[in-house]
Amino acid sequence: MSLPQEIRALAADTFAVLRHPDARGAVLLYSGLAAVFFVYAALTAGLLWTLFAAVIGVCLLPAVEFVTHKYVLHWLELAKTSATAQFWNRVHYAHHMDPKDTRVILAHPASVVLLVAVVAGLAWLVGMRPIAPIVAIAFALFAFYEIVHFACHMDGDLRSRYFAARRQEHALHHYVDENRNFGITTAIADRLLGTRIVDKKALVRSPTARNLGYTGAFADRYPYLKRDDAPPAGRTPAE
């Protein structure tokens, strides 16, 4: 596939995501917020600093994805209290329980606001001010992340090589081993940290891919969520 063909395929896949009612609203909201903050940032912080912040954000995206996914979204400790269990259920546990449920593919808006606030706060602490450009690129990258993630799970064929590759690797995370392929938009962090896998045959199917370890005695002790002790169901695109 030539570059122009791939670009057209990327656009077609993106519009397919935007046509889905469970994705359209959130993606358009984050995109709109990003546009507003980019304009404000360019007018108040200057175009150069705004573009520099965008470059920083793009470079940090693989690390942010990996850390958030592995150490926050898969953190079983969140199931230990009723309040945190319900939060965890919405932001990730329910998604692993049923990866094809389009209602829980996208992040909860509260988690998006929290993540952007954390990023902005960290930027402020290290002296990256004004922070409007940081907020702008954070919302823009989150919109991109949500498009890719939704494309990985929605029904139908994908036209672009990029989206197809991301779907293939993400399926292994959900249906084979939840401790692999934490990256959504890119496999860079997984490559560097040794958690990337592309060959399903090289993996042993994890019994906790669907329940993230919320099972057995642990689930009995903290009975705040619907549980599923069955092995992960479903077929990966490679099967």
* pLDDT 10s digits, 79-92: 999 999 999 999 99
According to the model, what pLDDT value does residue 163 have?
A: 97
Determine the Cα–Cα distance for residues 42 and 49; give it in Å rounded to an integer.
8
Task: Identify the residue with better confidence: 200 or 196.
Answer: 196
Considering the domain boundaries, does residue 237 fall inside one? no
pLDDT tens, position by position, 22-48: 999 999 999 999 999 999 999 999 999
Exposed/middle/buried for residue 43 (C-beta within 10 Å: 0-12, 13-18, 19+): exposed
**Number of domains composing the chain:** 1
Considering the domain boundaries, does residue 228 fall inside one? no
Q: For residue 69, give every residue at least 6 positions away whose Cβ sits within 8 Å of its Cβ, in sequence order, or none.
A: 182, 183, 184
According to the model, what pLDDT value does residue 216 have?
A: 93
Domain boundaries, position 17:
3-221
Considering the domain boundaries, does residue 164 fall inside one? yes
Considering the domain boundaries, does residue 42 fall inside one? yes
According to the model, what pLDDT value does residue 1 have?
A: 78
Neighbours of 6 (CB within 10 A): 14
Q: How confident is the model at residue 60 (pLDDT cuts 50, 70, 90)?
A: very high
Considering the domain boundaries, does residue 229 fall inside one? no
Q: For residue 134, give every residue at least 6 positions away whose Cβ sits within 8 Å of its Cβ, in sequence order, or none.
A: 53, 57, 119, 120, 123, 128
Q: What predicted TM-score, i.e. pTM, was given to this entire model?
A: 0.90
- Asked if pLDDT for residue 232 goes beyond 80, the answer is no
CA-wise closest residue to 10 among 156, 147, 180, 145:
147
Considering the domain boundaries, does residue 238 fall inside one? no
pLDDT tens, position by position, 93-119: 999 999 999 999 998 887 888 888 988
Tell me the two tokens of residue 156: 């139908």
